[in-house]
Amino acid sequence: MRATDLSPRFVQLHQPRAGVAHPELIAGLMQTQARVSPKYFYDALGSRLFDAITELPEYYPTRTEASVFEQHGADMARHVPSEAVLIDLGAGSCAKAARLFPVLQPSAYVPVDISVDYLRDTVDALQQRQPDLPMLGLGMDFSTLFDLGPAARDWLSDRALAQQPRVVFYPGSSIGNFLPHEALALLCQAHAVCEAGGAGGGLLIGVDRVKPRAVLEPAYDDALGVTAAFNRNLLRHVNRLIGANFAPEAWHHSAFFNAEESRIEMHLHSTGAQTVRWCGGERLFEDGESLHTESSYKWEPEAFAALLREAGFGEAQHWTDAKGWFSVFWAPA
């Protein structure tokens, strides 16, 4: 296929409509411990703020994971099939996958993200730099159901890629944002996506590991306050989605390691008693009461390998950095 025949396709399955009912979001706000899913961080501004977070000196996951790929990429390529369809979950800027194109040599690239407008822009820009690689952007919320859908399957079939191996790529330790049973459900769905392609597919996933509190906590509460701005921007997004009246400046960011649960927790604390209203409901937040916005689970390698087996994957291989802070797993389907 000539490069001039290629242009990026985009399928929008997630419809971030403002002012309509979002029952999951509203139910979370009404729980005894109010909570909002971290997927609501990622409007266009939130996605850009997260890109800034990854450049901070305190935020070790991105650069540590990058060092694992740099050091062990050639060995990974001996396990990961070349010319696979690379399906990139939570793709964001697509930069992590793009750096691996020379090593993994995919036959097609399918980035998936909930931040629809941001993903559309990044896929357009990436296609300009990679004109010979077929690309299909999927604007979707894969946190509740990960299925490529009929449009993506038709696109793969049109390009004779339906029987190519499928590699699901999930970097950045974002699997840690899911409760363990939710993580298992997503991994089971990823396994099904891999099995629907040709033989040899599997999962390439980044996993953050347990480490000292002095390393973990600053990564989620940086000195410049970028993570705090990222956290409070979630409130602006919620305001748009359900017509709420959160005042972001009236909330204080905090992050701490919950050792019993093996997870970082991010919260926003009300700086005074305030009633938050939205279309059809309201809640009084007392002074100091928190809104739980993110959990980021940290795993020991043996425990995560067991989770992969439970999801149906074969025996996993993993690589780590010199300090043992971060692992990248390859799990064959």
For the chain, the helix, strand and coil percentages under 3-state DSSP, each to the nearest 5: 40, 25, 35
Q: What letters, b where the CB count within 10 A reaches 16 and e where it falls short, cover 138-175?
A: bbbbbbeebebeeebeebbeebebbebbbbbbbbbbbb
- Residue 12: predicted pLDDT: 75
Is 224 part of any domain? yes
The answer to whether residue 8 scores a pLDDT higher than 80 is no
Is 99 part of any domain? yes
Do 109 and 235 belong to one domain? no
Do 292 and 318 belong to one domain? no
Taking alpha carbons only, the member of 146, 45, 164 closest to residue 89 is: 146
212 vs 209: CA distance, rounded Å = 10
- Residue 2: predicted pLDDT: 37
Do 37 and 109 belong to one domain? no
- Residues 231-289 have pLDDT tens digits of 999 999 999 999 999 999 999 999 999 999 999 999 999 999 999 999 989 999 999 99
- Residue 19: predicted pLDDT: 47
Percentage of the chain beyond pLDDT 90 is 89
- Residues 65-103 have pLDDT tens digits of 999 999 999 999 999 999 999 999 999 999 999 999 999
Which residues 6+ apart lie within 8 Å of 258 measured at CB? 264, 265
Over residues 199-207, mean pLDDT = 97
Question: What's 173's DSSP letter?
Answer: T
Do 91 and 190 belong to one domain? yes
77 vs 91: CA distance, rounded Å = 20
Do 72 and 199 belong to one domain? yes
Under 8 Å between Cβ of 167 and 202: yes
With vertex at residue 33, the alpha carbon angle to CA 27 and CA 38, rounded to the nearest 5 degrees, is 65
Do 29 and 104 belong to one domain? no
The answer to whether residue 4 scores a pLDDT higher than 60 is no
Do 161 and 306 belong to one domain? yes
The answer to whether residue 16 scores a pLDDT higher than 70 is no
- Residue 158: predicted pLDDT: 86
How many domains does the structure of the chain reveal? 2
233 burial type by CB count under 10 A (0-12 exposed, 13-18 middle, 19+ buried): buried
CA distances (Å), 115 to each of 29, 44, 139, in order?
21, 6, 7
Of the candidate ranges 12-16, 212-216, 302-306, the one whose mean pLDDT is the lowest: 12-16
With 0.75 as the threshold, say if the pTM is over it.
yes
Higher pLDDT, 5 or 207: 207
149 vs 11: CA distance, rounded Å = 10
Do 133 and 200 belong to one domain? yes
